[in-house]
Structure 1
């Protein structure tokens, strides 16, 4: 299967992936224990799904016993601008780079299926399953085992020839393909990603407490965000890129190849006042085809209210006034908190 593996890499890169690697389903024997410790410590917060099907998540052989090889693929979404610049524009919303374009689940999955179809054409009788961040698959440890990169101190995947702005996809197959050598860690003494975190979400290098992470708080956390973190949110209303943006390995970041993953003009620096006025219908229309849509209007506007409270601009109080009586309690609470912050100015 050596020749097939080489042709597979060539086809996948031609299809748009920036790097491809192969590992065995048993390549990450410690993944289950690491996940168990993470959940046992409560670091997953409200993400109950992380504690479910842990046997599948920790061992690909449990998820699909017939799998003999796992093909890991990386797709770049490197930004064209410095994602930290927006943090200085306090009347504008900071949206995580990955969410400024088309929903990556759709883009990457279609490309994975294209590669999978090609693989079956080359090997009739072979079976495949494709996964993009929605199944109990630990993509980052598998990607390291397949040689794509390593999990940095910020727990995200990065590579010496990739940087860390990448989406990961997986193709499980019944084919026996020659595995690649796993990558090792190259972070050295650098701790820029740890030091830049606004909420100290890393209790130690290579460990994340999601309950303190702005990405988790703005996307996964339901209800009011704890007051201790509200000021640290700044104008970040969907995700946080700080730890990714400061990684020195990004000097080798690969340019994004798919224009659908580049930022939409209306999501680069949207006005907070405009976003605060969105009702459910307007929210759905504006974020059609965007990953932002999945958190719903209420959680989104809750985040916008916190950002307005952190803006230091009393003129934005008018955008908060209607939200004090919002039907969603978390939105109403956020608006009241934000107004109290602006009154202090």
Structure 2
């Protein structure tokens, strides 16, 4: 009799879920490795070019659809969910203040890749104490893994119309992680789709990136444009980006299921003071050394300094200036950066300067109109009455 045949797999599965929660995961589920039902949708998505410049998504399709080809011997995938919503998320106040930089809430704290991978490693070690016959490999948003499809099969939630996983008791503000293993654990039941007729996420998207339910054209998505995209941000999307300098949460903000989302208990995901509620001007003034220092251990660091400057330049160009003095201040900061050693960044700075100059011109016109109206009223009051 093999070691695996002597294991109480039901008890082990219960143990794994208990161990996972003790490590800080809010939910643990088990999936098999058959993802073939997603092949047609994946290939159609790629054929439409919706992946943009993310060419890595075009490779290893067979491994994405068959996890046992990615990690030979894999029989099950343990899928985990970990909440990331920080205290004082300040969604509305940040988005309404055009001078404040908006960073997607998942990126305000420590890099989730490191946090979750470390916990998955510990979970695997606990399973190994139960049985030495374990072979495993952890993944966190890395390698060719269809994490949302796996989460769906593992009962974590269903894939929403915005293409993210939704849990009816926790919304969608959570990270996913996977542990590939060679044990034939009993699997969980997939969750029934619960979006119904709701299309709020489709309607709210600033760039209309959700081209149909469950299908996102990454080339239009603000998260893609500000993070994955290495080149210039297309002019047609710059105004819609507003003050969002890293990612976008709009489709999640409007989702009715997120009324059940809970604040994370993981302190590593709490917002860092130097990243949260900061003005666009303050962040734009960072030197490259300051950028590297303040983003150490953060997912934001991977976009690099040039894309950081590019994104904030767009945000500054979109800032609603309240006075000519405000406009002059922003122009001064942008002009001082015109010699940035990157043509792509310089182009965005020029665009931002043109936008602010246009706003300044409109302010001047409004000021002249107010003065003219005031003068007219004064003259009118001093005119003799006839009657």
TM-score normalised by structure 2 residue count: 0.87
After superposition, give the CA deviation of every residue in 1:196-226 in whole Å (9 maximum; x if it has no partner).
1000001111110000000000001112100
Q: Which residue of 1 aligns with 2:272?
A: 264
Deviation at 1:32, TM superposition (A): 2.9
Whichever of the two has the greater Rg, that structure is 2
| Structure 2 unaligned blocks of 5 or more | 1-8, 322-326, 360-387
Partner of residue 51 from structure 1, selected from 46, 52, 58: 58
- After superposing on structure 2, the runs of 4+ consecutive aligned residues of structure 1 that deviate more than 4 Å are none
Matches within 5 A, 1:270-289: 270-289=278-297
Partner of residue 318 from structure 1, selected from 311, 319, 332: 332
- Match of 1:267, SS? coil
Partner of residue 60 from structure 1, selected from 64, 67, 74: 67
CA RMSD across the alignment = 1.1
Partner of residue 37 from structure 1, selected from 29, 34, 44: 44
Are positions 1:343 and 2:357 aligned together? yes
Q: Which residue of 1 aligns with 2:116?
A: 108
Q: Which residue of 2 aligns with 1:236?
A: 244
2:31–2:153: 8 Å Cα contact kept in structure 1?
yes
- Match of 1:43, SS? coil
After superposition, give the CA deviation of every residue in 1:130-155 in whole Å (9 maximum; x if it has no partner).
00011110100100000000110110
Partner of residue 211 from structure 1, selected from 209, 219, 229: 219
State how far apart, in whole Å, the 2-side matches of 1:63 and 1:293 are: 28
State how far apart, in whole Å, the 1-side matches of 2:61 and 2:298 are: 29
1:18–1:254: 8 Å Cα contact kept in structure 2?
no
2:45–2:51: 8 Å Cα contact kept in structure 1?
yes
Are positions 1:118 and 2:132 aligned together? no
Deviation at 1:82, TM superposition (A): 4.2
Q: Which residue of 2 aligns with 1:146?
A: 154
TM-score normalised by structure 1 residue count: 0.97
1:32–1:55: 8 Å Cα contact kept in structure 2?
no
After superposition, give the CA deviation of every residue in 1:101-131 in whole Å (9 maximum; x if it has no partner).
0000011111111111101111112111100
- Match of 2:332, SS? helix
Matches within 5 A, 1:18-97: 18-26=26-34, 28-80=35-87, 81-97=89-105
Are positions 1:305 and 2:319 aligned together? no
2:74–2:180: 8 Å Cα contact kept in structure 1?
yes
2:207–2:220: 8 Å Cα contact kept in structure 1?
yes
State how far apart, in whole Å, the 2-side matches of 1:70 and 1:123 are: 17
State how far apart, in whole Å, the 1-side matches of 2:122 and 2:40 are: 34
2:274–2:294: 8 Å Cα contact kept in structure 1?
no
- Match of 1:203, SS? strand
